[in-house]
Structure 1
Amino acid sequence: MKTFSLPCGKGIQRVHIQEEHVLYDLHGNAAAAVTDEGEAVRQALRHPVGSAPLREVIRPTDTVAIIVSDITRLVHTAQMLPVIVEELNGIGVADAQITVITAQGTHRAHTPSEDAVVCGPDMARRLRIVNHDSRSNTLAFAGTTSYGNDVYLNAEAVKADKVILTGAVSFHPMAGFGGGRKAVLPGIAGYETIMRNHALALTDFVGGGCNPQCETSLLEDNPLHGDMKEAAALLQPVFLINTVFTADGDLYEVVGGHWYDAWKKGCEDLLRIASVPIQEAADVTIGSAGGYPKDMNLYQSTKAHMNAVFATKPGGLMIFTLDCPDIKEPAIFTDWFFRSDMASFEADLRADFSIPAFVAFKTRCIIQSMKHVYIVTRPENFDIIRQSGQIPAATLQEAWDMAKQVLEQEGRIHYKVTIMSHAAATFPVLK
C-alpha cells in the first residue's frame, strides 16, 4: 500500500492505493528550480531573447503600462514587478510614469487587498493600478485581424508610450499555451473582441463541437492563437517577461525579450519539461489542479479535467481534489455547467457564445466521456458538484473508496491508476 498526497486549496488530501495498481505517478520531467527569482528576472531584462535590453527600448520620458495577470493565475507577479520597476527607475522612469493594468479579461475586478496580493504591498502602494473592464465604454479601437475580429483594447494601454507584457507560460486547452499574447487578448480586450476570438474554438458546423485545432500545446493552424497573436501585434508591446513553472509548481525559468519570440521559447521549454510521454491510458486518474490559487473556483479548476482526460481511458473514472472556495465565480460558468443536453447546449452556445459557456461545454463533454467523475471539495459545494454531473466527496480516500466499488461491480480487478498531483500543469502525451 502506498500513500499519495495531492494539493487541495492550501492543504493536502491523501489516499492509500495498492502499488500494483499504480500505472503512473506523473510529475513532469526533472527540472532544476530557480533559486534567486529577482536575479532571474533581472537577467531576462538585461539579456533578452530577440530584443535589445529593456534599458535600451525605454526612454526616461516614456509613460509605461505594465500588464499583469489577475489573481486567478500563478505568475509570481509580486516577485517580478519590483525588479521591473527597479530597472525602469534606473532608466529614469519615475513611479508616476508607470501604470499597472491587471488583465482581467472577462473576470471580476480585484479588491484592493487582491491588488496587493498580486503586485505586492509595496508596488500596490507606490504604483497606479487599473483593473481592466472588458465592458468599459472607453476602450480604444486598435485594428482588425485577418480573422475579422475588431480589436478593442484598454485605453490606458493604447495611450501609453511603451507597453510591457507579463504573465506565465502554461498549457491552455484552447489557445495551446497561456501567457504571452494572452495578456492582450483576452487580458485587456473588449468583451465582443474576446467572444469573437474564443468562438474560434468551435467548429464551423453545428454538431461539430470543439475545434480540434484549438487544443493543448497546438499553435500551428490554431485560429484562436493566430487571432490572439495578431491582436497583440496591433498593440506593439516593446517587451515581455514571462515565468515558466514546472509541473510541480516550482519556478523553472524567466523568459524576457520580444513579446512573441521570448514567449515562444518559454512554450518550447515548458513542453520539454512538463509534457510526459505515457504508453497507455489508465482506468482511473486521480488528479489535482495544483492547489491554491489554481483551484479557487471551478472555472479555473477544469484545466485539470482537460489534461487528465489524455491519461484516462474513455469510459473510465476520474477523481479531482478541488477546494473551490469561490466555486460560483463566474456565475455564468456554473449556470451553463449545469446543462446536460449536449445538443441544445452546443446550439445555444453558438447562438450566444461566451468563454465560460465554452469551458463548461468542453468540460461537460469530458465528464460525459467518463463513467464517473468524483470531486473532493468543501461540503458547501456538494450541490453544485452534483448539478454539474459529478459526484462530490469530503475526502480523497472517500472518493477512491467509491471508485473502487464501481471497479469491483464491473469485475475490473486488474485496473490501473494514474496519479496527477498537478494535473492542470502536466500534459500526458500518449505514445
Structure 2
Amino acid sequence: MRRPQGGCGRGRITQIAPAGFVIQRLGGGFANPPRASESWKAVKSYYVYYGEEKYPFEIPPGWTVLKNAVSSEEAAPSLTIPEMVEKALAAPISSPRLSEIVHEDSKVALIVDDWARSTPVSQILPTLLEELQAGGARSENIDIVVALGTHRAMPREALAERLGEAIFQQYRVSQHDCQAEGLVPIGRLSTGGEARINPVVARADVKIGVGSIVPHPMNGFGGGAKIIMPGVSSFEAVKEHHLHFTPQPGCYIGNLETNPFYHEVCQVAEMAQLTFIVNCVYNPREEVVDVVAGHLREAHLAGIERSKENYAFRLDEPADVTITSAYPYVEGPQTIKPIIPASLLATKRGGSVIIVVTCRDGMPEPLLAAFDAIYSRHPEHTGRLAVDTFKSSQLFVEGAIDFNCAIFYALVCAARNSITMVSRDLDERSVTRLGFRYASSLEKAIERESRVRPQATVNIFPIGGVVLPLTQEAPNLCE
C-alpha cells in the first residue's frame, strides 16, 4: 500500500540499517556516512529514497550524471485536504456543482479506490458528502463502492480506516467483485467483448469517482476514468482490455494523445455515465498539493497538467546506468512499476538499472512461482515471449491482472537491461526468481557495476515511483 497524506518524519534520528544500508531520515544528519570502496574514490554524494528515508550514495569518478531528478520536494501544501476538496467542489471543471446535480430522490454511488492507492479517502468524503447533502441528497440513497478492480477484498478494519469509522458505520459500503454474477452490461469494448460493471454503480443516477492522479505505465496517468475501468468492471473485460492494449504502441507512461489504452478506459467510463470525479494531485513526497473536481475527462486533464509541474522533467538522452527507487510503492507487484520508466525511457538498451526497493510483505509466492515456470520453459527471449503472450490474450498466471502486468513488464525490462534490486526486505532468492540481480547494499551494486563500466553515463531518480521522464522517442516494447 502506498502511504496516505502526511509528513515524512522530519527531524527523526538517523537509522543505521543492516546489510550495509546507511539511511538518513528526512531532516536528520548522517551518522557514519557511507565510505567509498578502496577500489575507487567517489566524488559527489547523491541519494534515493528507501521507503520514507533518504539513502545516500556516491558515484565513481568515471561516471557522469546526465540527470538527477531532484524536484522541489520541500514545497508543502498550502491548504488542508478538506480545504482543497471544498475549493475544488465549489468551482468544478466543465461541470455544474454536485449540489446542483443531485436532488432529494437521487441515487448516488460514491466510487472510491482501494488500499493499493494513496488517496486520502477518509479526508475527502466528509466534505464531499456535505456537498451532496446541500443539494438534497439523502444518506439512505448514497452507496459507497470500493473499486477493487481485480484486487483482493479489503478486511473490515482496513475499510473502516480508509473510509473513516463514522462514515463506514453510517453509509452502505460494498466492495466490487469482478467475478460476481449480476454485473450489468453497458456496451461493447472496441475489441468486441462485453463491458459489464458493478450493479450498484449501474443503478445510480449520479456516479462520482474518487481517486488519484499519478503516472501510470499503460494508461499514461492514473485517476479519472480508471475508477470505472478497471475499478468496477468485470474480470473478463479488464483482461481483454489490458492484454490487448498493453503491448500496443502509444500505451506508455505519461502519454495520452496517442494512447489507445487510455482512450478505451475513457469510453467505458462514458458508457457507464460517470458523472463527476474528485482526484488528488501529489508532490513527489506523496503529499496532496491540489484537488481537481468535475467532468471525467476535463478535470482529469487539468489535474494531469498540475501533476506534471511536480514531477515531469525533460530527459535528453538515455544513460548507461539508471539508479532509481521504488518509493512510494512498497507492495509486491507494485514495486516493479518504477522499473518501467527507468528501463524503457531512461536507460540504453543493454544498460543497467539499479533499483532500491522496500517490500515490507515480500513478493507473493504465486507471483514468484509464475516466474519460475516461465524461466524454466523459456530461459531466453523473454521480452518477445511477454509481448506475444499478451497479444494472444493469454495470462501468465490465472487470476490477478496486476500479477500478469507485473510479469509482463519484468520480462520486457529484464530482456532489455540488467536489473539489480537492492533491498533488505527481499532475499537474494526472491530477487533472482524475478529474473533480476540482487545486491545487499547500493554501494555494492554500484561498485559491481563500475567494474563492468568504469566510464558510464548515469540518470538518477530519487523517487522513482512518481517520475515522468519526457523523452523525444516513445518506447518500443517489441524492438
The TM-score, its normalising length taken from structure 2, stands at 0.80
1:7 aligns with 2:49: yes
1:286 aligns with 2:323: yes
Q: What is the distance in 2 between the residues matched to 1:328 and 1:128?
A: 34
1:403 Cα shift? 3.1
2:303 to 239, 243, 266: 266
Distance 1:58 1:193, change over 3 A: same
- Whichever residue aligns with residue 167 of structure 2, its letter is M
Matches within 5 A, 1:6-155: 6-9=48-51, 11-17=53-59, 21-28=64-71, 33-155=77-199
Instruction: Work out whether residues 317 and 403 of structure 1, in 8 Å CA contact, stay in contact via their aligned partners in 2.
Output: no
Instruction: Work out whether residues 41 and 254 of structure 1, in 8 Å CA contact, stay in contact via their aligned partners in 2.
Output: yes
Distance 1:127 1:378, change over 3 A: farther
1:140 Cα shift? 1.1
Q: What is the distance in 2 between the residues matched to 1:175 and 1:306?
A: 13
Distance 1:166 1:417, change over 3 A: same
1:236 aligns with 2:279: no
Structure 1 residue ranges without an equivalent (≥5): 203-209
User: Tell me, what secondary structure is at the counterpart of 1:416?
Assistant: strand
Q: What is the distance in 2 between the residues matched to 1:326 and 1:379?
A: 8
1:245 Cα shift? 1.2
1:385 aligns with 2:431: yes
2:335 to 301, 308, 311: 301
Distance 1:128 1:5, change over 3 A: farther
Greater relative CO (CA pairs within 8 A, separation 6+): 1
1:164 aligns with 2:208: yes
Aligned to 2:240: 196
Aligned to 1:403: 446
2:312 to 235, 260, 275: 275
Instruction: Work out whether residues 50 and 258 of structure 1, in 8 Å CA contact, stay in contact via their aligned partners in 2.
Output: yes
Aligned to 1:369: 416
Q: Deviations over 1:100-123 (max 9, x none)?
A: 111111110001122133223333
Distance 1:379 1:424, change over 3 A: closer
Q: What is the distance in 2 between the residues matched to 1:4 and 1:218?
A: 29
1:174 aligns with 2:218: yes
User: Tell me, what secondary structure is at the counterpart of 2:355?
Assistant: strand
Aligned to 2:461: 420
User: Tell me, what secondary structure is at the counterpart of 1:413?
Assistant: coil
Aligned to 1:312: 347
Distance 1:226 1:278, change over 3 A: closer
Q: What is the distance in 1 between the residues matched to 2:257 and 2:421?
A: 34
Matches within 5 A, 1:238-257: 238-257=275-294
Aligned alpha-carbon RMSD (Å): 2.4
Instruction: Work out whether residues 337 and 406 of structure 2, in 8 Å CA contact, stay in contact via their aligned partners in 1.
Output: no
Distance 1:229 1:36, change over 3 A: same
Q: What is the distance in 1 between the residues matched to 2:257 and 2:249?
A: 12
Instruction: Work out whether residues 410 and 434 of structure 2, in 8 Å CA contact, stay in contact via their aligned partners in 1.
Output: no
1:360 aligns with 2:426: no
Q: Percent identity over the alignment?
A: 26
Distance 1:185 1:253, change over 3 A: same
Q: What is the distance in 1 between the residues matched to 2:424 and 2:141?
A: 44
User: Tell me, what secondary structure is at the counterpart of 1:316?
Assistant: strand
1:423 Cα shift? 1.2
Q: Deviations over 1:189-231 (max 9, x none)?
A: 00001011112225xxxxxxx2222111222232222221111
Aligned to 2:40: none
Farther-moved stretch of structure 1 (156-165 vs 181-190)? 156-165
The TM-score, its normalising length taken from structure 1, stands at 0.88
1:224 aligns with 2:261: yes
Q: What is the distance in 1 between the residues matched to 2:255 and 2:271?
A: 23
- Whichever residue aligns with residue 122 of structure 1, its letter is A
Distance 1:32 1:13, change over 3 A: closer
- Whichever residue aligns with residue 254 of structure 1, its letter is V
- Whichever residue aligns with residue 337 of structure 2, its letter is K
- Whichever residue aligns with residue 6 of structure 1, its letter is V
Runs of 4+ in 1 over 6 A off after TM superposition: 29-32
Q: What is the distance in 1 between the residues matched to 2:319 and 2:285?
A: 21
Instruction: Work out whether residues 101 and 135 of structure 2, in 8 Å CA contact, stay in contact via their aligned partners in 1.
Output: no
Q: What is the distance in 2 between the residues matched to 1:242 and 1:361?
A: 28
1:12 Cα shift? 4.8
Distance 1:335 1:179, change over 3 A: farther
Q: Deviations over 1:310-359 (max 9, x none)?
A: 12222222122222223445x65444444343254544442524553243
Distance 1:243 1:226, change over 3 A: same
The number of aligned residues is 414
Farther-moved stretch of structure 1 (219-228 vs 160-169)? 219-228
Farther-moved stretch of structure 1 (380-389 vs 224-233)? 380-389
User: Tell me, what secondary structure is at the counterpart of 1:361?
Assistant: helix
1:402 Cα shift? 3.0
Q: What is the distance in 2 between the residues matched to 1:262 and 1:332?
A: 38
Instruction: Work out whether residues 63 and 160 of structure 1, in 8 Å CA contact, stay in contact via their aligned partners in 2.
Output: yes
Structure 2 residue ranges without an equivalent (≥5): 1-42, 396-400, 473-479
Instruction: Work out whether residues 336 and 357 of structure 1, in 8 Å CA contact, stay in contact via their aligned partners in 2.
Output: no
Distance 1:348 1:270, change over 3 A: same
